Amino acid sequence: LGFAIPIDHAKPIIESLIKTGSTIEPFRLGIYTQDIPADQAQQYNLPEGVYIIQVEKGSAAEKAGLLRGDVIVAANRKAVKTTEALQAIKNSLNPGDKLAISIVRGSDKLDLEIVVTGGQA
């Protein structure tokens, strides 16, 4: 039995072990998502982006006002079309940083801010 861990998931853990001798829980937004590619966006009359399936109670995402059904279209002023792109932006942050999220909710476009409160990128 074998498995692989992507380096972008392992690197923060390794760096934390080297610096402090222990690990710090990674920062989580607290959302479950599904990508909306261009063909599905057109079919369902949604923007291309990251659809929020669920928001965890008490999470940073809930505190920022994200809701089930929102579509994330940008993070820190960069277009976001996949969960992987959103994760890459989130993983570049440190505790105390703010993550600016642009979402589409129904016919409205909103800008929200999530504060990184714990863990590390």
* Whole-structure pTM value: 0.77
Written as one string, the DSSP assignment of 14-76 is: HHHHHHHSS--PBP---EEEEEE-HHHHHHHT--SEEEEEEE-TTSHHHHHT--TT-EEEEET
Residue-wise burial string across 63-93, b where 16 or more C-beta atoms lie within 10 A, e elsewhere: ebebeeebbbbbbeeeebbebebbbebbeeb
Rounded distance between C-alpha atoms, residue 71 and residue 103, angstroms:
5
Rounded distance between C-alpha atoms, residue 4 and residue 77, angstroms:
32
Across the chain, what does the average pLDDT equal?
A: 87
Structure confidence by residue, pLDDT tens digits, 80-111: 999 999 988 988 888 778 999 999 999 999 99
Q: Both tokens of residue 26? A: 């990674």
